[in-house]
Amino acid sequence: MARHRLALTQSWRFGQAIADEANVWLGVVGSGVRVVGNPSASSVLSKLAHPDAVLCRSNAATIDEVLAAHATGTKVHLEGDGTEMLALARAAQRMQDGQPAEHPELAAFPDWAAVQAYAENDPNGTDLAVAVRMIDGYGAGTVIEAIEGTVPAADAQLVVSTAHKSKGLEWAKIRIADDFRQPRDPKTGELLPIPKDMAMLGYVAVTRGREVLDTGGLSWVHGHLDALGQSASGCAVVTTPPIGPGSEPQAKPAGDEEPDGVAAQVGELLGRLDELSREAIGPLLELGADSIAVARLERSLAESREALAAVASATETTATMAADIVGVLHQALGRAGPISATKEAAPLRVGPRRPPSSRG
């Protein structure tokens, strides 16, 4: 039976408690990387009444949190300064007053009612729909006041951010907002598998804190995985054996002999692609890489793997057919038994081809 190993990456930001939670999300992503917490850092998972930062999934939820902070007199900073939302809310207010939008995304609409209809009914308006519902729900004036009432980060008692904009940032104590919804079928209400992009965002969110993590709106992940019959054992750390002077080479299990020719070369390339895919995800997200770009990288690696596997399969099939043909010809001519074309085939060369030489 093949043994699965997990590559480890050390985090110096937080302790093992937060690392364990991060590893659950890495497990959902399907990454072979696991995070090891800083042994000298003390981190806990606990409810927080007064966090340093609140991380939300949507811009609308950030406005909720900003308004709640204003209501308690808390000096709040909105990460990214809310410039996009502020511009859209001001444009909405102008349109509602019968004035031109003066906003590039709304310039084609004659009035706010047309914007609402487009956002509600046109499949291409889904991105705008969230902002429109937020403005309609609070009122353009309230959104404007909420954003204009925020303070610079250096003066803030609380930072509010989307998880996406929090990449590369960190705070001592963070709370996850409640707008990270469990994936459910909209008709039946049944639980659905967690999408990879949500899992990546979950990993980013829970790894922004150093000391205390209030999982809040992402605390459902353990029960969700249990209900789907999926283990949350992503938090388990599987260590790799030592490699270097004095380490003993591992004996190969019976039946694990190395294949020859095409299979060996392509197998080695596939192994390298798998290793890259496993080891890249965690560190890239830890460094604040865009989750969509990381997902695209994974898809590209998977497509490359499929293409290589197809080449190997087709090449081996061709070699086998050639061997059969040679054998039939030899038998028909009354010569010696079939010759193996597989053994005599030239090894497959995978890599950039030499460009044709130019002739002067």
pLDDT tens, position by position, 33-76: 888 999 998 999 999 999 999 999 988 899 999 999 999 999 99
**CA angle, 132 then 136 then 138, to 5°:** 120
Rounded distance between C-alpha atoms, residue 140 and residue 69, angstroms: 19
Classify the phi-psi angles of 307: left when phi > 0, otherwise alpha if psi is within -120 to 50, otherwise beta: alpha
Q: Give the phi and the psi of residue 204 in degrees, each rounded to 5.
A: -60, -45
Cβ-count burial 44-68 (b if 16+ within 10 Å, e if not) = eeeebeebbbbbbbbbbbbbbbbbe
Kindly state the tokens that stand for 252: 């190969």
Rounded distance between C-alpha atoms, residue 82 and residue 147, angstroms: 6
* Integer Rg of the chain from CA: 28
Rounded distance between C-alpha atoms, residue 329 and residue 335, angstroms: 9
The answer to whether residues 9 and 35 touch, using CB atoms and an 8 Å cutoff, is yes
The answer to whether residues 214 and 17 touch, using CB atoms and an 8 Å cutoff, is no
Kindly give the parts of the chain with pLDDT less than 50. 1-4, 234-261, 263, 336-354, 357-360
Rounded distance between C-alpha atoms, residue 141 and residue 249, angstroms: 70
Give every CB contact of residue 128 below 8 A, 6+ residues apart in sequence: 105, 115, 118, 119
Rounded distance between C-alpha atoms, residue 326 and residue 198, angstroms: 55
Rounded distance between C-alpha atoms, residue 327 and residue 339, angstroms: 6
Give every CB contact of residue 135 below 8 A, 6+ residues apart in sequence: 88, 89, 92, 143
CA 313 to chain CA centroid, nearest Å: 31
Rounded distance between C-alpha atoms, residue 140 and residue 190, angstroms: 36
Closest CA to 228 of 16, 27, 34, 3: 27
Rounded distance between C-alpha atoms, residue 306 and residue 312, angstroms: 10
The pLDDT of residue 150 is 96
* Max CA pair span of the chain: 98
pLDDT in tens, 18-40: 999 999 999 998 888 888 999 99
Closest CA to 31 of 250, 267, 234, 288: 234
Give every CB contact of residue 10 below 8 A, 6+ residues apart in sequence: 35, 36, 38
The pLDDT of residue 124 is 76
**CA angle, 223 then 195 then 288, to 5°:** 105
The pLDDT of residue 352 is 46
**Angle between helix 140-148 and helix 83-96 axes, rounded to 10 deg:** 150
Give every CB contact of residue 346 below 8 A, 6+ residues apart in sequence: none
**Angle between helix 261-286 and helix 196-206 axes, rounded to 10 deg:** 50
β-partners of residue 176 are 55
Rounded distance between C-alpha atoms, residue 12 and residue 40, angstroms: 9
The pLDDT of residue 248 is 38
The pLDDT of residue 344 is 43
The pLDDT of residue 281 is 62
